[in-house]
Amino acid sequence: MTQSKPPDLATRNLGDFMCFAVYSANLAFGRAYKPILEELGVTYTQWIAIVALWEDDNQTVKSLGEKLFLESNTLTPLLKKLEELGYLRRQRDPGDERQVIVSLTEEGRRLRERGAQRSLVKATGMEADEFAKTQKSIVKLRNNLIKHAQA
């Protein structure tokens, strides 16, 4: 079996760029999530912060930012808004006043029941095993790009 070669750099179209495929897929996911998130009253970035806290509650702002690949200047206003909405609380770590601990409120935990059971797997048109394989490939791609950028 012969492998197809990528198009010559001089003749590549926008659709030939993997970065554009990932970027545009991200936009498509955002559009697909929009009605769900509007019903819940949160943005996509707020939603993933809540999901990360369901997975690992009572974590520092720094560790949450690392998990979400967000800088503190983006994360802090987002967390402040979620606190205003009653979904989480922020408090100084008594053991290290420099650290802020983020934890879900009961209302934040209930948000999972209202929204998390909805899945966009079907919307992708992929079988469950194909979806899982693609997700793992994208994570591998992301991790390799991060390693490359740090080298």
Confidence at residue 42, expressed as pLDDT on a 0 to 100 scale: 93
Long-range contacts for 89-95 (Cβ within 8 Å, ≥24 apart)?
90/61, 93/60
Per DSSP, the three-state class of 90 is strand
- Chain segment 94-139, per-residue pLDDT in tens: 889 899 999 999 999 998 777 765 677 888 899 989 999 999 999 9
Strand, coil or helix: 8: coil
Closest CA to 68 of 88, 49, 89, 44: 49
pLDDT > 70 fraction of the chain, expressed in percent and rounded: 91
Cα(102)–Cα(81) distance, integer angstroms = 13
Report the distance separating Cα 6 and Cα 93, nearest Å: 51
Q: Where do runs of H (alpha helix) occur along the chain?
A: 18-40, 44-55, 61-68, 72-84, 106-115, 128-150
Instruction: Say if residues 98 and 90 touch (Cβ distance below 8 Å).
Output: no
Angle at the Cα of 14 from the Cα atoms of 13 and 17, rounded to 5 degrees: 100
What is the mean predicted confidence (pLDDT) over 33-53?
Answer: 91
Residue 2 has pLDDT above 90, yes or no: no
Q: Please state whether the predicted TM-score (pTM) of the whole model is above 0.95.
A: no
Say which range, 63-72, 87-96, 113-122, has the weakest mean pLDDT: 113-122
In the structure, what pLDDT confidence band is assigned to residue 4 with cuts at 50, 70 and 90? low
